[in-house]
Amino acid sequence: MTSEITATPGAKMIFLIRRRPEATRDELVANWFKNHMPAVIAGQERAAADGKVHATKYIATLFDQRHGKDVPWDGMAQLWFDRAIPNPPEPHGTVPRDTFQQKAEPYVGWATTEYVVIDGELPLVPNTLNEPFPATRSGFFKVTFLVPARDGIDYDAAFRHWLEAHAPNVRGVMNQIGGLRYVVNHSHDPANESYLGMAELYFRDPQGWDDYRATITEDGFSEYVDFSRLVNMHATAQMVGIPG
């Protein structure tokens, strides 16, 4: 693959989170920040102290619920490890271990390789009157794409095209319009996952997203992507558990 865009070492585990029907989004988010994130942080710190595999970074994106739009997920946790972490026999939260898991539907991890195409800094101010993390951040407009593959494609060819043609195209547009950050994530096992991968585009504000859509041109990626099943979700806030 192209040497211009290099992989982040290790694996980036993605956990897509959806609330249970009886839970509100506010309940889910409050318990994620108050009860679940501190427990995850503490668990990773214990694993590191014991010399075990542990996350070196932990960030959760909260997806906006857009009026009139079907937004299939409430949020997404991302944890960076030195290798992919296998899923347990049953999805996380099948037997809830905290109030967050009582509010969230059971979830599984999705192992990806990360490529940071535009490494723009995002605002982050640790807490000063409480423990530094978990903390929140905003000041951006993020669009997350869940990218489904067309049936019968060559996955290696699709990944090559993504990095050698599509990502440079997107990078050029992002640079032209003043985009903040652009990250690509390739599934480790695309044949058995719902998505070929995921793209994360950060803008300064919603106008950047409008400018992007008005500027981007076709580059052949549609040969590999089933755009009828493409999902894009917007976010203006993240929760940072381990800054990395």
pLDDT at 68: 65
Give the CATH architecture of domain 11-242: 2-Layer Sandwich (3.30)
For a pLDDT cut of 70, what percent of the chain falls above it?
98
The pLDDT value recorded for residue 4 is: 83
Mean pLDDT (the chain) is: 96
The yes-or-no verdict on residue 3 having pLDDT over 70 is: no
Letter string b/e over residues 135-145, b meaning 16 or more CB atoms within 10 A of that residue's CB: bebeebbbbbb
- Answer yes or no: is pLDDT of 147 > 70: yes
What gap in Å lies between CA 9 and CA 225, rounded to an integer? 26
Domain ranges of the chain: 11-242
pLDDT digits (tens, 9 = 90+) for 192-232: 999 999 999 999 999 999 999 999 999 999 999 999 999 99
The answer for residues whose C-beta is within 8 angstroms of residue 137's C-beta and 6 or more apart is 122, 123, 124, 125, 237, 238, 240
The model's pTM is: 0.96
